[in-house]
Amino acid sequence: MIDPGTNKPNATPQGRHRRSRYGCRNCKIRKLKCDETKPHCKKCSAYGVRCNFEHNVQDLQSITEKKSENAPAGKRLMRLRPVISEAIWSSNGSTSFLLDAQDQALFKRYRDRTIFTIGGLPMVDTWGNQTLQAAFEHPCLMHGLLAVAAVHDRHLGLVPCSRRTLRELHHWSRCTILFAEMLSCTIKEEFKDPCWATAATLGILTFASTDVDAAGKKQPWPLGAADSSDLEWLRLGAGKMRLWQLLNPLRPQSAGAFEALLRDKDPVALILLCMWYDSARRAKWWIEMRAKYEYAAIRSYLQLHYGEHIAVKRLPPD
């Protein structure tokens, strides 16, 4: 029953369900009990976002933000992302993660800058809307996105050292640990997309990170001595295909023949990888971070051992 004087449901044994049903979408996203005060609930006002009982208000839109119909679609999308307020956190019920001031700055750079560079404009909605929303409910994904933003900072030269920072390593480590915990349990249907997004994030982190030191004491693969970390990104890719089968079995698992040829330093496989590096490095910054080292190393190795072959001679310079 509805009390005409207050326009609110009377207290009943089913009150909790009605509160969840009639509350605003923002409170549902943040897993809070909405007080259902219209037109603006108290929870949204305190958080600094526009209450969205009405369908024409975007999720988690800042009170100070105004929609601009003339702005490019991608940029307009980003102005509708969650605001940086006094507290941002991610929680799945068992694990909670509160972002400090530096993490909030990383989050903002990821939201306003990095998502446009990961997979191109067709992927902006995926990385900017779906993945960001899932990150508030899955700490492993939030840690992963912050680590990607930190790697992007290094690529752009925004940090004094080109080596991985402690904050980047911390978020990468926490992402890996929490992701392993997620995989150790039965993956529920609603967790499949966040699980795949986290795997993709770890793939970017692994590919963009190299152990080549500025002093040149350690040579990149395949010039350097064999190491357990060689071709780590390929092993992770094989693991992602296994995960793809578990989450959405659309195609059979790769047999991994190409990785075996690379480990044997087969010249044809090396030439193919070299050609892919030369093409892909211009498309994505996180590919360039590895390609700038390994392309030159593979080309040097091929020139040293197979320099007479015409395909090796035709490889473009670094």
Is the pLDDT assigned to residue 295 strictly greater than 90?
Answer: no
Rounded distance between C-alpha atoms, residue 128 and residue 130, angstroms: 6
Name the 3-class secondary structure at 8. strand
Report pTM.
0.50
Tokens 């295909």 found at: 241
What is the Rg, in whole angstroms, of the alpha carbon atoms belonging to the chain?
A: 24
Whether 158 is in a domain gets the answer yes
Whether 201 is in a domain gets the answer yes
Boundary-marking domain end, from 192, 209, 226: 209
- Which of 138-147, 202-211, 305-314 shows the lowest mean pLDDT across its residues? 202-211
Q: In degrees rounded to 5, what are phi and psi of residue 25?
A: -70, -35
Rounded distance between C-alpha atoms, residue 12 and residue 18, angstroms: 9
Q: State the CATH number of the domain containing residue 45.
A: 4.10.240.10
Boundary-marking domain end, from 209, 238, 261: 209
pLDDT at 107 (0 to 100): 92
pLDDT at 218 (0 to 100): 62
Range of the structural domain that residue 50 is part of: 20-62
pLDDT in tens, 263-294: 788 888 888 888 877 777 666 776 777 777 77
Reported as a pLDDT band with limits 50, 70 and 90, residue 247 is very low
Is the pLDDT assigned to residue 74 strictly greater than 50?
Answer: no
- Residue 95 shares a structural domain with residue 58: no
Give the ranges where 119-266 is alpha helix by DSSP (H).
124-125, 131-135, 139-155, 166-183, 192-208, 232-247, 257-263
pLDDT at 207 (0 to 100): 77
Q: Give CA separation, 260 vs 19, 180, 223, in Å.
A: 57, 26, 17
What is the number of structural domains in the chain?
A: 2
Boundary-marking domain end, from 193, 209, 225: 209
- Residue 93 shares a structural domain with residue 192: yes
